[in-house]
Amino acid sequence: MPARAVRYLSQADTQALLDWPDVIACLARAYGGDADPRATPPKVVARRDGMWLRALPAISGDGGGMGVKIIAKGRPRAADHLIALWDPETGELACLMSGKHVTAMRTAGTSALAVDRIAPAGGLRVAVLGSGREASTHVSALAAVRPVKTLAVYSPTPANRESFAKKFGTKLGIECRAAQSARAAVEGADLVIAAARSHDETPILEGSWLAPGMMVVSIGSTVPEQREVDPAVVERASIIVADVPDEVARETGDMIAAKAAGVSFEGKIVALADVVRGSRAVKQGRDNIVLFKSVGSGLQDIAVSELCHYRARASGVGIELPIK
């Protein structure tokens, strides 16, 4: 029997293979396809003693690929990611890849897709809370779909927010200021990106800071233990667009806290897939507040991973691991 090989892609490989326009386009195709809940089942999470292991399986909308992303978090705060893809025709393992960069790209790419479909046409005044990887990828992804008119950034570490402001001021050629507080960053923004959590899980964004006409992107509360926005953000939002509606409503710390505070939100939740397909019209206006809440899904992971694998095969990137 002839030997076969599995392609392995490192984090550096995935960084070289992926770009924002094509990542966002492939996510739009994934969300615009026919919905089949059996192809994207809920994630599975195993927990014990401060550790957790999360698995996100999916079969692509056209049936051209199938895979799973596994995220492991030990007792320290950091987590690691591995993605596996199988050939849908043979069922054989086809590719293993580092999932960290893919995760960052699919998360920010999905947010950019949501903003592009919901926010008014034209440039945006953006506030970003956080100065790490998620904040950087979100600003970069957003700039691929919309002009960024101004950018304000807040991080509790002054050197980090100053460095972030300098980097993106130069990169985007716009005014970018380092704000002295989260509230000061949010003031006057059209779009608020919450892209960091406090170490004690105190919400970093308060609803009292928001004004009609703002859109909020929240991506940092994906399990019950995590918090990013306070209940007032959920209460003030007239519409909540969610990438995985049931999971957002039932399994995220922000929504659990909002429900405990007496905030009713179930009737305001709209699926991102419905927005992308055009079956639900959701638009940001001058008089409303729209919240996009994302927890991530296997659909996003496998769509972007397939793109990465296709490009790797075409260009010969990666290492061939023999399997006997």
Question: For position 194, which CATH number holds?
Answer: 3.40.50.720
Crossing angle for the helix pair 100-118 and 298-315, to the nearest 10 degrees: 120
Q: The dihedral of CA 245, 127, 26, 226: what is its sign?
A: negative
> What's the number of CA atoms in the CB half-sphere (13 Å) around residue 301?
29
Mean of pLDDT values over 259-282: 95
Q: Which two tokens stand for residue 264?
A: 């009713």
- Considering the domain architecture, whether residues 147 and 246 belong to the same structural domain is answered as yes
Whether residue 56 is found in the same domain as residue 117? no
Position 35 scores a pLDDT of 75
Residue 115, amino acid: V
The band of 1, judged by pLDDT with boundaries at 50, 70 and 90, is very low
Are 60 and 116 within one domain? Answer: no
**pLDDT tens digits, 205-223:** 999 999 999 999 999 888 8
68 and 216 assigned to the same domain: no
User: Which DSSP string corresponds to 200-238?
Assistant: T---SB-GGG--TT-EEEE-S--STT---B-HHHHHH-S
Note down the domain range covering 8. Answer: 4-103+299-323
H or E element in which residue 186 lies:
helix 182-186
Q: Do 312 and 237 share a structural domain?
A: no
At residue 172 the predicted structure's pLDDT band, cuts being 50, 70 and 90, is very high
This prediction's pTM? 0.94
Single-letter code of the amino acid located at 252? T
Of 96, 72, 92, which is closest to residue 84 (Cα–Cα)? 96
Task: Name the phi and psi angles at 216, rounded to 5.
Answer: -115, 135
DSSP string spanning 52-73?
A: EEEEEEEE-TTSS-EEEEEEEE
**Does residue 156 sit in the same domain as residue 251?**
yes
- For the chain, what is the total number of helices (H) and then of strands (E)? 11, 15
Q: What is the mean pLDDT of the segment spanning 251-265?
A: 96
Instruction: Kindly state whether residues 54 and 163 are assigned to the same domain.
Output: no
How many independent structural domains does the chain possess?
2
The pLDDT of residue 176 is 96
Averaged pLDDT, 91-106:
96
* CA-to-CA separations, 261 to 125, 159, 202, 232, 234, in angstroms, rounded: 31, 36, 15, 9, 11
CATH code for the domain of 46: 3.30.1780.10
Average pLDDT over residues 82-93: 94
Residue type at position 277: R
- pLDDT confidence band for 2 (50 / 70 / 90): low
C-beta of residue 13 within 8 angstroms of C-beta of residue 102: no
